[in-house]
Copies of this chain bind each other. A is one copy, B any other.
Amino acid sequence: MSVTSVPGFRANGIASGIKESGAPDLAMVATVDGAPVPAAGVFTSNLVAAAPVQISRRHLAKGQAAAVVINSGNANAATGEQGRADALRMCELTAQAVGCATSDVLVCQTGLIGIPMPMAPVEAGVPKLGALLTSDSDGGLAAARALMTTDTVPKTTRQHVDLPIRRGGTIGGMAKGAAMLAPSMATMLAVLATDVVIDSHRLTRALQTAVRDSFNALVVDACQSTNDTVLVLANGALGNEPIEGPAEYASFVDALTAACADLAQQMAHDAEGATKCVTLHVRGARNDHEARLAARQVASSQLVQCSLYGKDPYWGRIISELGVSGAVFDPEAVEITYGSHTVCRDGVACEHDELGVFELMQERDLRLLCDLHNGNGEATMLFTDLTHAYVDENMGTS
């Protein structure tokens, strides 16, 4: 259940001293022999991209990588030229440890913004970590633990890729991010590995699709912080025919999406302080784009989030948010359903089982449906509530 679930990858994680708490803070994933393999990445769309994002983008221009080095405890963002030099130095140290070129190393960092990167722990820690890389499942789990910031549990996944070869391929992965509810260090990082044979161009397209339907369907856009990064390396150890046909490509995309969605679900459930985990489905929009706009508007609403925390099925706030989302619809055609209870039909209140809704609102996991009755567009979004604990978590940086 992690990157080491995939044949031909090694990983581990240690406490290097970047975090004053002494918790694990340095992770590495690499191919067994240090050879570069096809790789792809999706990065934050934030104009203020952190140093590791700038360096990893540059290194990925070749479409290959042999290793990924990750630290928690410092984001190395808004750190200027020195930050880039520090991120590059992490790659250089990793390359020496793994036995590859510096430009074949990708780097991810997460933590506070605007604080110079402490490099002494990195200088000592990376060589030590390189010597500890292992294909054992312990290594994959230790790597996942070293990614954690406000996460309370490590997040890992393993998915089967249905291909016409032996028992099919494998995708393994790990992630950090309690993206919605503990965003004092809001960065979302994920590193995935697979043994299938696929070129970097198709790998990139597959990753973009998978991210859109998983991490980017979390309410806080996964591509917004200074450091958000999702990476995948494909070492080809499966020895399958290269994925080129539409059927094989679809199988791979499905598995990669499932891996990312599994990690995204784990993030939502680990959202600190959240008392609700809501799956919002918008349908009946003119197109999928407008459905996504509508879903994002509702899910992002502080007012809707507060209502959910208060177990109050106040659909008035939902219809109001739909109205400013940019989606086009007839307000007097809207239908809003909590679980299986429709509380608003034709844009106005309708008779419903009030006791049933009351009982439903006590649940942690909720389904919400908004039907705009104006087309076939639909979208699903996962979000949580706004709580006292959220405010506590984000009042300070310490």
Chain A residues near B (Cβ < 8 Å)? 45-49, 75, 77-80, 82-83, 112-116, 183-184, 186, 224-226, 302-303, 306-307, 309-310, 312, 314-317, 319-320, 322-324, 328-329, 331-332, 334, 344, 346-349, 386-388, 390-391, 393-397
Contact = CB atoms under 8 A, between A and B. Distances in A.
A123 B115 CA distance: 64
The 6 closest A-B pairs by CB, nearest first: A113-B316, A310-B395, A48-B323, A306-B394, A47-B323, A46-B323
Contacts of A344: 78, 114
Contacts of A320: 46, 48, 77, 113, 224-226
A112, A114, A115, A309: which has the most chain B beta carbons within 10 Å? A114
- Number of this chain's copies in the complex: 2
A46 B324 contact: yes
Nearest to A323: B48
Nearest to A81: B332
A384 to B, nearest CB: 12
Contacts of A184: 303
B331 A47 contact: yes
Given A315-B114, A331-B47, A307 B348 contact: no
Given A79-B348, A396-B312, A319 B114 contact: yes
Given A78-B316, A332-B80, A226 B323 contact: yes
23 contacts: A47-B324, A47-B329, A48-B319, A48-B334, A49-B331, A75-B316, A78-B319, A78-B348, A82-B348, A83-B348, A112-B316, A114-B315, A115-B316, A115-B349, A302-B302, A302-B386, A306-B394, A309-B395, A386-B391, A387-B391, A388-B388, A388-B391, A390-B391
Contacts of A75: 316
A224 B114 contact: no
A324 B44 CA distance: 10
B80 A346 contact: yes
A394 B114 contact: no
A388 B322 CA distance: 26
Given A77-B316, A78-B319, A312-B397, 13 more contacts: A47-B324, A48-B320, A48-B334, A49-B323, A77-B320, A78-B349, A112-B316, A114-B348, A226-B319, A307-B397, A310-B394, A314-B397, A387-B391
Given A303-B394, A391-B388, A395-B306, A316 B80 contact: no
Nearest to A309: B395
Given A306-B391, A394-B302, A396-B312, A80 B348 contact: yes
Given A303-B186, A388-B391, A395-B306, A114 B316 contact: yes
A48 B77 CA distance: 41
B347 A80 contact: yes
A224 B309 contact: no
A183 B45 CA distance: 31
Contacts of A348: 78-80, 82-83, 114
Nearest to A343: B114
Contacts of A309: 391, 395
A309 B397 CA distance: 12
Contacts of A316: 75, 77-78, 112-115, 226
Contacts of A78: 316, 319, 331, 344, 347-349
Nearest to A75: B316
Contacts of A387: 391
Contacts of A331: 47-49, 78
A57 to B, nearest CB: 14
Nearest to A328: B47
A320, A391, A394: which has the most chain B beta carbons within 10 Å? A320
